[in-house]
Amino acid sequence: MRVSHSPHNADVGFQIAPMIDVVFVVLVFFMALAAQIRIEQILKTRLPGQATTQESTEFFDEQILQVDEAGGVTLNEESYDEGGATGLPLLTSTLIRLKASSDVAKSRLVVTLISHPDSRYSRTIDVLNALAAAGISDVSFTTGEEP
């Protein structure tokens, strides 16, 4: 069977049925959207905005100093002045630079000193003397392992 197209049927014209289908789809879309807007109004949610406070937030720089059982001193997991050195010159110079940089940045320098329970007491005093020489006064002192 052969189908032939005649030149008389080439002009189909404007078809209304697909246009009605599109209008119904758009109508359903807007009806569903209107229902969601109503739900958002009922929930009374608010978008996040800028937080305002009465006081300025102060940031501080925390450094962790540890004294191990053998007398080794570490500052933020970096070793300074191993067991036998008294006076801790390398640690003292590093702490002075830390204090100077925190003063320039206008941030508070906080040092947490963690001393091993079996370490020599004199080694902990050497570390406290280094902190005093650097001018660091915000020091918290704990014993044992870091939590």
| Token pair 């370490």: residue | 119
Q: How many angstroms separate the CA atoms of 136 and 57, rounded?
A: 21
Q: How many angstroms separate the CA atoms of 112 and 128, rounded?
A: 11
Residue 114 has pLDDT above 80, yes or no: yes
pTM comes to 0.56
Beta-carbon contacts of residue 65 (< 8 Å; ≥ 6 apart): 73, 74, 75, 111, 112, 113, 114, 127, 131
- Residue 83 has, within 13 A of its CA and on its CB side, a CA count of 6
To the nearest 10°, report the CA torsion of 32, 34, 37, 39. Answer: -60
Residue with the bigger pLDDT between 19 and 142: it is: 19
11-15, 18-22, 103-107, 117-121: least confident range: 11-15
Q: What tens digit of pLDDT does each residue of 117-128 get?
A: 888 888 888 888
